Amino acid sequence: MGVSKGNRKSVGGFDLVNTVQQRTLKNSISCAGIALHSGIKVSMVLGPGEPGSGIVFKRTDIAGGGAFIQATWERVVDTNMRTTLGNDDGVTISTVEHLMAALAGCRVDNATIEVNGPEIPIMDGSSWPFIFLLECAGIVEQDAPRSVIRIRKPVTVRDGDCVASLIPGNGFSLAFEIEFDSPAISRQSISIDLGNGAFKKELARARTFGLLHEAERLQASGMALGGSLDNAVVISGDRVLNEDGLRYDDEFVRHKALDAVGDLYLAGAPINGHFSGICSGHATNHRLLQKLFADKDSCRHDLFSADEAEADDMEAAWAGGSVATIGATA
């Protein structure tokens, strides 16, 4: 798992003994698909990133240096039905949450994502196709220690019935609850510890969903133009219209949890703590990160220790097989 070995060494006051290394993609890999909201066909290339560079989006249809957008909470410019990032030049990339969740679940720290349009392809509406692409590309360790954001005290935001919280805890765990008037959804809840490859098993295949009677309103506002039964669970009354039904009995709440994993990975590093969401969406998740980083005492940036990495051993086994190493360990 890339644990540093040898004599005791520190950088910036951090002890590098028994730390875990950052990871990136071994190879580049491409895909193409329909964008959920714009309805256009877009192509995307997932590629390696330099140590410490984080997740960076590049709009290949935009000329010049203004095409780059850093995937951080500070770059969120819109949270209406999706998470949209933008740079100082006004260039945006939207619907990043499912891909960000896959990158978090596969523990990819650094990557360059090239897209020839304003939106990430929706694929099947879940993170599963992105997990598959990342596994095919392979994942390698880099000669740089991985950081973690440790929650030091509870942080909560509320917006009507929507609540999102982060509290101190070991590893990263998540609890989520939703309630809809639709009898096909009703009230659902989930609580999960996201270690030992749990993201892939428990959340990755959960698809985005929508109510049929809301489709016309969304499309009139220029959204969901690419939505179909191929990339979303569609509900009419008490029925799920998708021929193959649901992938999980509680697929709806699992998808909202998936969204939260993706939104929270915009923190810039994995979070060590417990997230709780009640009817929380992209806007509430973003406000939670804003509040978290507005109070310097609410969290601490630290190095990811080898002890914490033990829970990731199973993830390494499925995220591209044996993990290779770039460079020498510290």
If one counts every other C-beta atom within 10 angstroms of the C-beta of residue 274, the result is 20
> Residues 191, 193, 199, 200: is their CA dihedral positive or negative?
negative
Kindly name the residue from 37, 98, 274, 282 that is annotated as catalytic. Answer: 282
Closest by CA position to 111, among listed 67, 54, 52, 28: 54
Bridging pattern class, strands 172-179 and 271-278: parallel
Task: State yes or no: is 282 an active-site residue.
Answer: yes
Burial of 250 (C-beta count, 10 Å sphere; 0-12/13-18/19+): middle
CA distance 298 to 194: 22
DSSP-assigned letter for residue 121: B
Structure tokens at 80: 């209406």
Instruction: Identify the CA nearest to 82 among candidates 45, 44, 27, 119.
Output: 119
Tokens of 176: 């989520």
Helix (H, G, I), strand (E, B), or coil: what is residue 212? helix
Q: Which helix (H) or strand (E) holds 318?
A: helix 313-318
- Which amino acid, one-letter code, is at 292? L
Ramachandran area for residue 106 (φ above 0: left; ψ -120 to 50: alpha; else beta): alpha
Smallest Cα–Cα separation from 23: which of 137, 102, 136, 111? 111
Cβ atoms of 157 and 163 within 8 Å: the answer is yes
Give me the active site residues, please: 282
